[in-house]
Structure 1
Amino acid sequence: MSTRTNADFWFDPACPFAWITSRWILEVEKVRDISVTWHIMSLAYLNQDKDIPQSYRDYLKDAWGPVRVLAAAEQKHGKDVLLPLYTALGTAKHLDGKTFTREVIAEALEQAGLEAELVDAMDDSSYDEWIKTSHHLGMDQVGNDVGTPTIAFEGEAFFGPVISKAPKGEEAGRLWDGFVLVTKFPYVYELKRARTHELDFS
């Protein structure tokens, strides 16, 4: 008799790789007995003291805003609102090519059925401690040399998988099976190869 696997997923809505992996694990929930709990992390916080290219620093310049809004929504309504708000934010950014302006975030809040005034959290640094706590809950399990997506389950935590397209149906389930198998070996730290495919958000 199988038992349900509880998985924890850390994301920053700005990250395209986290977005694709998140859509994959939602497919996994349909074909495997797992339940996902969503958590926020912050790429801006992760990289604030790192030597990163200026182009990436510019990319992260506005990354605090949407994560703060997610934090405000979680504080007010609990974790169940994170996925619908993340989906609305991610669709706007990664599918529709929008930037996280105040108007775009307000639209995402409306789509998620949340209060319009939560958009004011964009500029409210009082949420940053909440974000850092959630961030460290995930990142401290895998180390600061990685980022998002991070998935933890059954006492194991890994950065990834980093994929360029989210498989669907049973293919998504088979990838999960392989991911689970790899995590069972405590001396496996990394599998990597050069990316040769464009990101596919379909």
Structure 2
Amino acid sequence: MSEPYDVEFFWDPVCPWAWLTSRWVAEVAALRGLRVDWRFISLRLLNKDKDYERDFPAGYVAGHTSGLKLLRVAAAIRHAGDRDRMGTLYTQFGGDIHVLDRRTEMTDHWEAGFPEYLRAVGIEDEFLHAANDERWDEILQAETDEALARTGKDVGTPIISFRRDGDLHSFFGPVMSRVPRGDDALRLWDAVWEVATYPGMAELKRSIRERPQFEGSLDGPSSGLASA
């Protein structure tokens, strides 16, 4: 029986805040030798009962649906037995969206499932159809529901579960606008870990301080991407 993961991180590739937090988690995991289970949460499924034209700015339906389709591909790959590939896929998809400005390759072709993009980044032909296959939504919905069951339903992404003494402690956040590296990353990790695993701790929050700073967010571990 394999050892349990130290951290579970629920990701949707289109969320900019989750992307930045994930790069911090990847940094710490590399420095501390932590095992991270990169799990799924879909913003499109999370907001499925909302009216996108009324409740969101223009373009959100294409963005969230693109995220859903990328997660379907990831779910198909994981189902085929390649769970360890999830971190690499997230780095690929998230890096292309937030850092390398390839978002339009997806959002301009989201209805077709952007097969050209998927082929360009090395997704095998057997998984290309998954982008438009709604059968994978059952898995994505289940993991989305599990993430929200751990934290409460009034949150979005990122959601992280920390394992301490065999128990999982889950929180929304931390939301950060830039990626800490090295000792800064470790100091922040230790502080967040203590807060997140302290009995009875529920919330610590303030408003956003600055826009997401994506520059350099691909400079850390697992940064090698396929190119078109």
Structure 2 length normalisation: TM-score?
0.78
Q: Which runs of 4+ in 1 moved over 6 A?
A: none
Q: CA deviation at 1:33?
A: 4.6
Distance 2:68 2:32 in 1: 34
Q: CA deviation at 1:5?
A: 7.2
Partner residue, 1:54: 56
Q: Which amino acid aligns with 2:194?
A: L
Partner residue, 1:15: 15
Partner residue, 1:200: 213
- Unpaired runs of 5+ residues, structure 2, are 217-228
Q: CA deviation at 1:118?
A: 1.1
Distance 2:37 2:5 in 1: 11
1:38 is the counterpart of 2:38: yes
1:181 is the counterpart of 2:194: yes
Distance 1:156 1:15 in 2: 22
Q: CA deviation at 1:122?
A: 0.9
Distance 2:33 2:187 in 1: 13
Verify the 8 A CA contact 2:44 2:64 in the aligned structure 1: yes
The number of aligned residues is 195
Q: Percent identity at matched positions? A: 35
3-state SS in 1 of match to 2:6: strand
Q: Identify if the C-alpha distance between structure 1 residues 54 and 29 changes in structure 2 by more than 3 Å, giving closer, same or farther.
A: closer
Q: Root-mean-square deviation (CA), in Å?
A: 2.0
Distance 2:187 2:125 in 1: 40
Q: CA deviation at 1:197?
A: 1.7
Out of 116, 124, 131, the residue aligned to residue 115 of structure 1 is 124
1:129 is the counterpart of 2:138: yes
Verify the 8 A CA contact 1:14 1:93 in the aligned structure 2: yes
1:84 is the counterpart of 2:88: yes
Out of 145, 148, 152, the residue aligned to residue 161 of structure 2 is 152
**Residue deviations 1:84-133, cap 9 Å, x none?**
1111111111111122241223323x0xxx41331211111011111112
Q: Identify if the C-alpha distance between structure 1 residues 58 and 122 changes in structure 2 by more than 3 Å, giving closer, same or farther.
A: closer
Partner residue, 1:70: 74
Verify the 8 A CA contact 2:14 2:97 in the aligned structure 1: yes
Structure 1 length normalisation: TM-score?
0.88
Verify the 8 A CA contact 2:42 2:141 in the aligned structure 1: yes
- Unpaired runs of 5+ residues, structure 1, are none
Q: Which amino acid aligns with 1:91?
A: G
